[in-house]
Amino acid sequence: MNYKTIYITGEARTNLDNAITKIYGIFYMAFEIDTESEKILNTDCNATLELTRDFIKNIFNGKKFIEDEKVIIHEITNRYFASSDKAIVFAYRDALRKYKNIKN
């Protein structure tokens, strides 16, 4: 068991007609981050489809939480074409803001 990891979440609103909004009311993302390397070890979210959750994991997992911000945002905007794209970016940035506050 690795105790050098933290769990942090970010949240964002999605479109009113999005299934996430209808089911959950808000979009959540969760990250497990190695505090030494700042590598994202695991990612999850409350997207309604398993394929969506897996696709999002593939964008985030293995990247550096802070250092790879531009790479992550670029991948989302150039690979993810669904109505929750902006919510993913906002939830990530919300988690990023929380993480930076924890570090300080």
- The pLDDT tens digits for 10-68 are 998 777 676 666 766 788 999 999 999 999 999 999 888 899 999 999 999 999 999 99
Residue-range definition of the domain harbouring residue 38: 5-103
Q: Which pLDDT value is given to residue 16?
A: 67
Average pLDDT over residues 67-93: 95
- Domain total in the chain: 1
Per-residue model confidence (pLDDT) at position 13: 79
What's the pTM? 0.89
At residue 97, does pLDDT exceed 80?
yes
CATH number at 60 reads 3.90.1010.10
Q: How far is CA 30 from CA 10, 17, in A?
A: 7, 23
Is residue 2 predicted with pLDDT exceeding 70? no
Q: In what order do the strands lie in the sheet with 40-45?
A: 5-12, 27-34, 40-45
